[in-house]
Amino acid sequence: MTEVPVVDAAAGPDADLLEYLLVAVPTAGRLDGVVATVAGLVRSGRIGLIDVVLLHRAEDQASVAVRSWQESGLLAPLAGLADPRARLSAHDVALAAVAVEPGVSALLLLVEDRWAAALAATAREAGGRVLGGERVGRDRFRSAVGASVDGADRWAIADLLVRGPATSLRPELAVDPAAQLQTLAELVDRGVLTLEQYEAQRRRVLDG
């Protein structure tokens, strides 16, 4: 069994190993098991928890409600496990909220991938670093696998990467979907757009 490297918590999180995770379920009541699993992963040393917020979008709303762990009893098992030296910004939360479907609750987690600590340390010893990473979505992976099942080509026909490392290194290269949807949500509030029209536009933004 692979040993998890011992992490010096006093030194703070490894800035090369931070990522966010958005875990969505149909209702907030079903997040209990997810919260318990996160707590277990933190206590085992496999991840470090930097910040966590609860997101919920009602069926008849364009906006997403946000609750911190201090404001939500559901997140009580994670109290004291997060690193107080860093927090998700309001814009971070808004970017994640773009993906939350109507009637869905989600945990937005900022974590340190401590399982990769040895890899990051070895890269630094070699004069390098971990440049970035990106979660490959299930639908994108299935499309790519389906496009290359014949084994005739080294490269998958469908793309796996959405942003690529350059977007992490140069954020100005990225389009801001949160700003786009904020404008659309304001139009819903003013009665210019229906919720159905908003949702259609949100889909277009997500599809890039």
Judge whether 23 lies within some domain.
Answer: yes
Residues 12, 123 contacting (CB under 8 angstroms): no
Judge whether 186 lies within some domain.
Answer: no
Task: Say how many domains are in the chain.
Answer: 1
Judge whether 191 lies within some domain.
Answer: no
User: Between 182 and 76, where is the model more confident?
Assistant: 76
Both tokens of 182, joined, read 């904020």
Judge whether 32 lies within some domain.
Answer: yes
Average the pLDDT over each of 44-53, 87-96, 170-179, 193-202 and give the range with the smallest value: 170-179
Judge whether 156 lies within some domain.
Answer: no
Judge whether 98 lies within some domain.
Answer: yes
- Taking each continuous run of H as one helix and of E as one strand, the counts in the chain are 7, 4
Please check the confidence at residue 177 and state whether its pLDDT lies above 90: no
For residue 71, what are the domain limits? 1-130
3-state secondary structure (DSSP) of residue 19: strand
Q: How many CB atoms lie within 10 A of CB 160?
A: 13
- What does the alpha-carbon distance between residue 110 and residue 62 come to, in Å, rounded to a whole number? 24
- pLDDT tens-digit map of 26-83: 987 889 999 999 999 999 999 999 999 999 999 988 889 999 888 888 999 998 898 8
Average pLDDT over residues 9-17: 81
| Residue 9: φ, ψ to 5° | -60, -30
**Secondary structure E strands in the chain:** 18-25, 48-56, 65-68, 105-112
Q: Confidence band (pLDDT; 50, 70, 90) for 205?
A: confident
The per-residue DSSP string of 67-111 comes to: EETTT-GGGGGGTTTB-TT----HHHHHHHHTTPPTT-EEEEEEE
Q: Confidence band (pLDDT; 50, 70, 90) for 188?
A: confident
| Residue 110: φ, ψ to 5° | -105, 115
Judge whether 73 lies within some domain.
Answer: yes
Please check the confidence at residue 1 and state whether its pLDDT lies above 50: no
* Residue whose structure tokens are 């969505």: 24
